[in-house]
A and B are shown apart, each in its own frame.
Chain A
Amino acid sequence: MTKAKNDKLVLSLVATGLGFLLGAIVIIGTGKNPFIMLNAMVFGTTGINIAKGIFNARYIGEFFIQAMPIILTGLSVGFAFRTGLFNIGAEGQVLVGGLAATIIGLGVRAPSIVHVPMIILGAMLAGALWGALPGFLKARYNVHEVVVTIMMNYIGLHLNNHIVRNIIGTTDGVKTAVFPKTAMLSSEFLAGVTNGSRLNWGIVPTVLAVFVFWFLIEKTTFGFGLRAVGFNKEGARYAGMKVERNVMTSMAIAGAFAGLAGAVMAIGTFGFGRTLPAAEGYGFDGIAVALVGGNAAFGIMLSGLLFGMLKAAAPLMQSAGIPKEIGSIIQASIVVFVAMKYGLEKLLVLMGRKSREPVEGSAV
């Protein structure tokens, strides 16, 4: 492990630790017991309830259900970060991915072996288009991708609601008809071993996506070109790389990861299309996941599991008397602490470590 990587890991761990510490302080400050949170996190992840001494495998399955989409949005945000772009638009890309999955899921009749890949590819394509537009505007007109992707989130939200409500039609104003069985990722085997959880074959494309991210970024000339643009745009241009094209391609790939998240939720977790009053925050979760994961494939997978743990513990904490929003508070604090890396590095130096090179791979 290189020094830079080691530093990045220490930074993520310190930020995570501080975030949980702050969360515990908030819990104590509002008169609750922080060990309830700890118990909920262990129970929500492993299915083992220490306090009551019971085991239920369903919780393991539901934990993966929570972790899958945010690992994918984490890959989306992380991929753009590596190219020096900030993709706040994963939220909207998830939505249009889910919308595409709904359209193909309900509109096409095909055997499962054709239907599922069609849905997944269609959703990735929709997400890619939603990402490519801000990328194109950035490359061609130098319009800041942050503002455009924020706007695209809301356009995606209203577009999804319009098409689901007025064109596809809903049964109760919120849900569409249930997808045919051929469209679903659901697995009796996986549900069976996890005591009837919603766990499904969505884990396969999720794990594949982690490997694709790693392979593209670390092992191909193409990925090297993208990273070069992220490190130094002008340097990359001088070396003869097509910076504009790389910016657009990178945003499209980022969008495809998020679109996949939309598909995995639509045909894995839910099984129907939905209208939404507001975005659900998977894109913002992805920002936290990518930052803590150091924008690297396996780091993102691990931090996705960590934040998945918080999400899985949320309902358990709520029923034990701690408002589940403590999860968002901890998550936001961790993001602030990672963003404060300059301050944290100083702190680490004060604690006796030698000052090192700045951490690589950030958006700035």
Chain B
Amino acid sequence: MSFTILLEMFPIALMFAVPLVIAALGGLFSERSGVVNIALEGIMMVGGFAAAAITWLLEPSMRGWAPWIGLVVGIASGMVFSLIHAFASINLKADQVISGTALNILAGGLTVYLAQIFFHQQRTKAFTSGFTKISVPVLEDIPVLGRLFFVQAYPTFYVAIALVALTWFVVYKTPFGLRLRSCGEHPQAAASMGINVYRMRYIGVVISGALAGLAGGVMILTQDIQYTVASIHGYGFIALASLIFGKWNPWGVLGTAIFFGFSETLALYAKDISFLRGLPTEVFSMVPYILTIIVLVLSAGKTVGPKAAGEIYDQGKR
């Protein structure tokens, strides 16, 4: 594999990785608070739909600002949508996996239903101004690193990096983060210290809704020209895989997502790389899923994830 191809692939890998990182960080907040969120896929669909619709609506009047406002609306709609999951699984003690599954089914139906009401077709109208690639002055001249990270990159990549650092700081360095994690490890112990477990879990789920909504918006506005029901095509689940493979740690998530993004890019470039030429593209698409199963097996028995994630909070239990 020549170095030039590698350099060419890297920005594309980052483009694939960004929505994965952001959605996986969302999953991190939710699972650290003790609520499993397999609805990342569905929330990404809702966020992507809202972002695409708003971008199309505003671009005649706002030009370059339209996608950014689209992202904000994507975040807001992700938050509202995730409230269903929070209400069902926290207040009404619904099984978190079932409630998440319901959200995934609902998202596919709701977005396409609304598209038909608003646009009279199965998808949103195509927007012309998604995010465009930028090169950062000065930094782009750094040898190697400049070519990798600061040339032909989407601005959303820097948003993702900032979110990783912010998540790490919030979750590991603030009292809020400590409380959040305690609700995911042993909610009864947390409650005994005066922490409101219901509230922390609500915050965890709604942050995950905001981030997954953002991820959906970013994905549509960088990789697509409109929202269709196939736009998210399993990225929410790869994000879930990134979260597990990254061992519920923000930096681990970042590394994993870039790695998975790379494996998606390899599928596009395999025909140009001599020793990969014979492999069908489907093999690369399978990589994240197979690796996740392997890492789950290898880390079996060790406590990696939040211990109480998926458990219904029962105040009476000790």
A residues with a Cβ closer than 8 A to B are 26, 30-31, 86, 88, 137, 141-144, 146-148, 150-152, 154-155, 158-159, 161-162, 165-166, 277-278, 281, 284, 287-288, 291, 323, 325-329, 331-333, 335-336, 338-343, 362-364
Contacts and interface: CB of A to CB of B under 8 A. Distances in A.
A341 B104 CA distance: 19
B105 A335 contact: yes
Interface stretch (B66-74, B164-172, B279-287): B279-287
B117 A278 contact: no
Interface string B286-304: 1001101100110011000
22 contacts: A30-B113, A137-B297, A141-B297, A141-B300, A142-B300, A143-B300, A146-B97, A147-B296, A148-B293, A151-B289, A151-B290, A154-B237, A162-B280, A162-B282, A277-B233, A288-B105, A291-B98, A328-B106, A331-B105, A338-B98, A343-B92, A363-B95
A339 to B, nearest CB: 4
Pick the 3 closest A-B CB pairs, nearest first: A328-B109, A332-B106, A141-B300
Nearest to B102: A335
Interface string B17-43: 000000000000000000010100000
Given A148-B296, A155-B289, A342 B94 contact: yes
Contacts of B116: 323, 325
B244 interface: yes
A336 B88 contact: yes
A150 B27 CA distance: 16
A191 B101 CA distance: 36
B241 interface: yes
Contact of B109 (A166, A329, A340): A329
B112 interface: yes
A155 B286 contact: yes
B60 interface: no
Contacts of B36: 146
A155 B290 contact: yes
Nearest to A143: B296
Contacts of B101: 88, 284, 287, 335
B14 interface: no
B300 A278 contact: no
Contacts of B92: 339-340, 342-343
Given A150-B237, A332-B105, A143 B98 contact: no
A328 B114 CA distance: 13
Contacts of B80: none
Given A151-B289, A332-B102, A362 B230 contact: no
B93 interface: yes
Given A152-B293, A362-B95, A363-B95, 17 more contacts: A146-B97, A147-B244, A155-B289, A158-B283, A165-B280, A284-B101, A323-B116, A323-B117, A325-B109, A325-B116, A328-B109, A329-B110, A331-B109, A332-B105, A333-B102, A342-B94, A364-B312
B108 interface: yes
A147 B301 contact: no
B242 to A, nearest CB: 12
With a 10 A CB-CB cut-off, give which of B103, B106, B110, B230 has the most chain A CB atoms.
Answer: B106
Contacts of A338: 98
B38 A150 contact: yes
A154 B286 contact: yes
Nearest to A336: B102
Contacts of A332: 102-103, 105-106, 109
A146 B31 CA distance: 15
B165 to A, nearest CB: 27
Interface string B84-127: 10001001111101110111111011101100110000000000
A278 B296 contact: no
Nearest to B118: A30
B197 interface: no
A160 B92 CA distance: 39
Contacts of A142: 300-301
A325 B108 contact: yes
Contacts of B282: 158-159, 161-162, 165-166
Contact of B240 (A137, A147, A291, A336): A147
Contact of A339 (B99, B108, B286, B293): B99
B296 A137 contact: yes
Contacts of B244: 147
Nearest to B94: A339
B98 A363 contact: yes
A278 B97 contact: no
A162 B95 CA distance: 35
A148 B294 CA distance: 10
Given A147-B244, A158-B286, A325 B94 contact: no
B234 A278 contact: yes
Contacts of A364: 95, 312
A340 B94 CA distance: 5
B93 A342 contact: yes
A249 B99 CA distance: 26
A339 B105 CA distance: 14
A326 B98 contact: no
Contacts of B84: 336
B309 to A, nearest CB: 10
Contacts of A336: 84, 88, 94, 99, 102, 106
